[in-house]
Amino acid sequence: MKNTIPLTFDRRSFLRSTGLAGTMALAQRASSKVEEVKPRLTDFQIACMTLPYSKFPLERALKGIKGAGYEYVAWGTSHDETGSGKRVPVMPVDAPPKKAKDLGKRCRDLGLKPVMMFSTVYPEHKNGFEALKNRILQAEAAGIPQVLTFGHTKGGNRKLWIERFKKLGPIARDHGVIIVVKQHGGTTGTGEACAEIVREVDDAGIWVNFDAGNVMDYLDLDPIPDIKKCAKEVRSFCIKDHRNWPKDQDCGPGLGEIDHYRLLQPVAFTGRVMPLCCENIFAPLVARPTKPEGIDALARRAREFLETVIAGLHS
């Protein structure tokens, strides 16, 4: 019997005739889809605020944070520079951008990258728009990507917030900065409430900062269901834990009742850069350290805890 297979019958023809080509093509497409949807890890920037060191000079705070192993720092509100008990603002609201630029350089000279600064003004304050605008200019000059603001614990003027944020959003974007708003009781006590405002503003210059400790403290709500309702809008965290027992008290991460694995999981695979700024690092029930070395130790413990959580989630 003569061979009926044409001389031009190559491997591709053979695969088509047997149906294997289609199977292999489907497999290749499935493989490429798996690669396309492969989750991108969030770049969590673990920072310590200078706030826990507020009873000591700012310079000591910066050196303590660096010594505790941090690469990133967030500017707090004020520090006792002389030991007199009188607080000096880290950055006055009306300070020229040059002053912020100098402080940013001071941080970097110590090996710290500043990632966030407090606005120290409510968005609805009579001078709120001007103050936040100047904070944007200060942040740009200092190389700080985020300006943090929040509302009054008794409530806030939601309509005015939206009106001002719609104007501030484009200004922030023009200067390479974003404004993030966090929970602080009242009408903006949850991440969901803050996210609703952000969605209505609908500007890439305005986002949410999540403060789980404040959600639990001010409203006595579990922050884990709340983070799931605003995860798409979250761009940073103020890290603060909380206990309701045996005492109602804020504390450092991992020392309270909030599960930080569940807290960070909804934003662990965004592919974004996301600062985690430790606002409270203190142990519950016991007295706060009277010497800065004690705060250094708590800062190191907070960093190591968050590093462990992130490593676990990303594994």
pLDDT, tens only, 145-166: 999 999 999 878 999 999 999 9
| pLDDT, mean of residues 10-16 | 49
Residue pLDDT, tens place only, 80-119: 999 999 999 999 999 999 999 999 999 999 999 999 999 9
Measured distance CA(314)–CA(291) in Å, rounded: 36
Helix/strand/coil for 257: coil
Q: What is the CATH number of the domain that holds 151?
A: 3.20.20.150
Worst-scoring range by mean pLDDT, 34-48, 179-193, 213-227, 259-273?
34-48
pTM of the prediction?
A: 0.88
Q: Angle CA(269)–CA(270)–CA(272) in degrees, nearest 5? A: 125
**Domain contains 122:** yes
Q: Where does residue 266 rank: exposed (0-12), middle (13-18), buried (19+ CB within 10 A)?
A: middle
**Domain contains 101:** yes
Q: Residue 216 is inside which H or E element, if any?
A: helix 212-219
170-184 residues labelled b (16+ CB within 10 A) or e (exposed): ebbeebebbbbbbbb
* Structure confidence at residue 187 as a pLDDT band (50, 70, 90): confident
**Domain contains 25:** no
pLDDT confidence of residue 154: 85
**Domain contains 153:** yes
The total number of structural domains that make up the chain:
1
Longest dimension (CA), the chain: 108
**Domain contains 158:** yes
Domain span including residue 110: 41-314
CA-only gyration radius of the chain, Å: 25
**Domain contains 266:** yes
Instruction: Describe the crossing of helices 58-67 and 292-314 by its angle, rounded to 10 degrees.
Output: 40
Q: Are 274 and 235 in contact (CB under 8 A)?
A: yes
pLDDT confidence of residue 37: 62
In which residue are the tokens 């798409």 written? 232
Worst-scoring range by mean pLDDT, 11-25, 89-103, 206-220, 239-253?
11-25
Does residue 31 surpass a pLDDT of 90?
A: no
DSSP classification of residue 266:
G
Residue pLDDT, tens place only, 245-289: 999 999 999 999 999 999 999 999 999 999 999 999 999 999 999
Measured distance CA(122)–CA(115) in Å, rounded: 20
pLDDT confidence of residue 155: 79
**Domain contains 35:** no
Q: What percent of the chain has pLDDT over 90?
A: 85
**Domain contains 143:** yes
Q: What percent of the chain has pLDDT over 70?
A: 88
